[in-house]
Amino acid sequence: MKFAMVHENYNVLDLEKSLAFYEKALGLTVKRRKEASDGSFIIVYLGNEESAFELELTWLADRKDPYNLGDEEFHLAFRVDDFEAAHQLHEEMGCIVYENPKMGIYFITDPDGYWLEIVPTRK
- How many Cβ atoms sit within 10 Å of the Cβ of residue 117? 16
Q: Confidence band (pLDDT; 50, 70, 90) for 1?
A: confident
Are 113 and 69 contacting, i.e. CB atoms less than 8 angstroms apart? yes
Instruction: List pLDDT tens digits, range 42-87.
Output: 999 999 999 999 999 999 999 999 999 887 778 999 999 999 999 9
Integer Cα distance of 111 and 35 in angstroms:
21
At 6, the pLDDT band (50, 70, 90 cuts) reads: very high
As a whole number of angstroms, the longest Cα–Cα distance in the chain is 50
Q: How confident is the model at residue 3 (pLDDT cuts 50, 70, 90)?
A: confident
Query: 36 pLDDT band (50/70/90 cuts)?
Result: very high
The domain segmentation of the chain, as residue ranges, is 7-61+74-120
Give me the helix-helix angle, 83-93 and 15-26, nearest 10°: 150
pLDDT of residue 109: 97
pLDDT > 80? residue 111: yes
Mean per-residue pLDDT of the chain: 95
| Superfamily of chain region 7-61+74-120 | 2,3-Dihydroxybiphenyl 1,2-Dioxygenase, domain 1 (3.10.180.10)
Global pTM value: 0.91
Q: Residue 17 carries which side chain, given as an amino acid letter?
A: K
pLDDT at 106: 97
